[in-house]
Structure 1
């Protein structure tokens, strides 16, 4: 069987290729148990029986995760889409999300729905762009905006532009979204959790210098795609800078660490290490960068994938083929998140001052037994996305 193009980039056939092919099949099987009434659950939470076996029960609902799954499933042929969505297609799922847009109040959620409308060729794209514009205008006077949501807004506008979507003031909005992301990186090595003022309502003062892994991946992806669409060299340089930063900080066994000091690029706190980062989000962003003409970080991608097969933190597998899911993360035995808070505070005052004793007091030996649908959605999108294949649903 010929491997998918992105999988083939990693080199000759071997364990990593086999892992990815198995995971793509697992994602298709694992999505229907979280899908009900045209919407995805927030999570499938693990439950342990008295005999030691595990099951996973759906909990809650999530528009955001539904939109991400729509993006991922849209990369599949129609019959596989219907298998993943219990008979529906990505276009039909996106249609339900577009219909809900008047009640959507989060910029990130609206951006993802708009992005999905562009990728699936949904006729409601213009309406989605109008709603995105309304919510973006509402953020204009705020002192801070979440970095992830700003990145999704740019990615959505780039995707819409590629299929002829306009929306109100399209060129100006694209430029504003671009400028917002580039400005957020101007004085730092990596991205902080918020763009805008250093202190404000969205993060406490002692974490103002911190950015999480998602805060790096999504801007990297959006800026790489902007360059691919428009030839924006400044955007490509910024994407390359962020990619070099997270790759330089990658763990020796392939861990994509969680919290960074945006000022220096150093790791504030490594754990949890998330399955979705290893299998999907890091590869997705880095492969988009390579497709756009930026640096190829294939060795780092492969090392991150290898962590899923074997890791120093725990001998327990994070992949459950029977339940068709990946368990969410390997984490510290620190339910109150004390390590995260202490390391944020210490590195705020002294960059690099991570209080090493905490590694011994709170070892990373816990497996978080849940799986959120977006994890499988990004897995499909990371490895099956093709820039020329938009609107295929």
Structure 2
């Protein structure tokens, strides 16, 4: 039987109308020029102010997020050249070729909200079985949260024993990575890949915020009070550590509940990922973090460098403010985090900073997704 959970109502005034009115058209314009008519994927991005190809697995994960964000913000779907079904088919083919197991959750999510194929058919076409939990325990926490969110959206569309069982198994795995006394998520599970276990206690903001969102989805779909409680605890922790200008810092010591590395501060965290997760938590019955969201947006034009990250002329929001240092120095700092977990950036006096003039397609997509939730737009197949 499908459980129910009482929601606290619509989000009220959490996101600034002025910010949304400025960011939405830029996001639409960005997505239009990064969709590739040949590959039928969102596999181009701005790098050093110029349009270039995406790197690594970004063509797969970014395209899936673009499908999710565009579908959530229905008003934009008709103004983009991309055919969602063609992009989904191309993403499925790409996954089969690349077999990036960690990105499969995003593919499941995109497939569910766009009305794609049956889950069993998706697994067959993408050559990936969700019954292999060994793949799940090897995922980073961000990837595990993606998978939980994807399966929950599938379950919301097609309530059946198998997706429900899968959702509960992945939810349990995600719960095991939460550190109650610190209120944070580890970067990986105890049986994760060696390279991820090596920095298991040094988790990033993506590990925290995608998990928060996934726990909130679990509260909505499964009626899980434990998931809602964890989401509330996690949200309280990261909000308490929000920077003086509304920054969401990049790395945390998950066993201590402290900040491990402040920079880069990413624009997408400020205008999209934090707002969408905190608003989803409210939809699930959690508290209203309106002030944290407002401060999150305000960083875009009230930040450490005193510049506006929103660039109407370039039709984008620039990617981040980061340390102005060499690659060698950056690698040394990362090694310090692993070898000396007591090192805290609060002792770092005013680092030299610069803007990273880059934007990736998924950043615009999550911006639209967050705006649609804030505007209480018709959610269609989406959970929030």
Q: Does the C-alpha gap of structure 1 residues 204 and 293 become closer, same or farther in structure 2, counting only changes over 3 Å? A: closer
Q: Is the 8 A contact 2:151 2:167 kept in 1?
A: yes
- Cα distance in 1 for residues equivalent to 2:165 and 2:369: 28
Equivalent residue for 1:201?
Answer: 194
User: What SS is found at the alignment partner of 2:78?
Assistant: helix
The runs of 5 or more residues in structure 2 that have no matched partner are 1-8
- Cα distance in 1 for residues equivalent to 2:263 and 2:179: 27
Q: Is the 8 A contact 1:261 1:347 kept in 2?
A: no
Equivalent residue for 1:226?
Answer: 218
Equivalent residue for 2:30?
Answer: 30
Range with greater deviation from structure 2 (249-258 or 319-328): 319-328
The structure 2 residue matched to 1:73, chosen from 53, 61, 70, is: 70
The structure 2 residue matched to 1:254, chosen from 237, 242, 246, is: 246
Root-mean-square deviation (CA), in Å? Answer: 2.7
Equivalent residue for 1:315?
Answer: 306
The structure 2 residue matched to 1:324, chosen from 315, 340, 345, is: 315
The 5 Å alignment of 1:92-131 reads: 92-129=86-123
Equivalent residue for 1:148?
Answer: 142
The structure 2 residue matched to 1:375, chosen from 363, 368, 374, is: 363
- Cα distance in 2 for residues equivalent to 1:355 and 1:291: 34
Q: Is the 8 A contact 1:7 1:20 kept in 2?
A: no
Equivalent residue for 1:41?
Answer: 43
Q: Deviations over 1:198-240 (max 9, x none)?
A: x8512363x3311100000111101101111121000101111
Equivalent residue for 2:3?
Answer: none
User: What SS is found at the alignment partner of 1:288?
Assistant: helix
The runs of 5 or more residues in structure 1 that have no matched partner are 47-54
Equivalent residue for 2:255?
Answer: 263
The structure 2 residue matched to 1:298, chosen from 290, 312, 326, is: 290
Deviation at 1:388?
Answer: 4.3
Equivalent residue for 1:285?
Answer: 277
The structure 2 residue matched to 1:275, chosen from 250, 257, 267, is: 267
Q: Is the 8 A contact 2:140 2:196 kept in 1?
A: no
Q: Does the C-alpha gap of structure 1 residues 283 and 184 become closer, same or farther in structure 2, counting only changes over 3 Å? A: same
- Which protein, 1 or 2, shows the higher relative CO under an 8 Å CA cutoff with sep ≥ 6? 2
Equivalent residue for 1:163?
Answer: 157
Indicate yes or no: 2:169 matched with 1:172: no
- Cα distance in 1 for residues equivalent to 2:135 and 2:312: 48
Range with greater deviation from structure 2 (179-188 or 27-36): 179-188
- Cα distance in 1 for residues equivalent to 2:140 and 2:62: 17
Q: Does the C-alpha gap of structure 1 residues 210 and 99 become closer, same or farther in structure 2, counting only changes over 3 Å? A: same
Deviation at 1:100?
Answer: 4.0
Equivalent residue for 1:242?
Answer: 234
Q: Is the 8 A contact 1:112 1:156 kept in 2?
A: yes
Deviation at 1:382?
Answer: 1.4
Give the TM-score normalised by the residue count of structure 2: 0.86
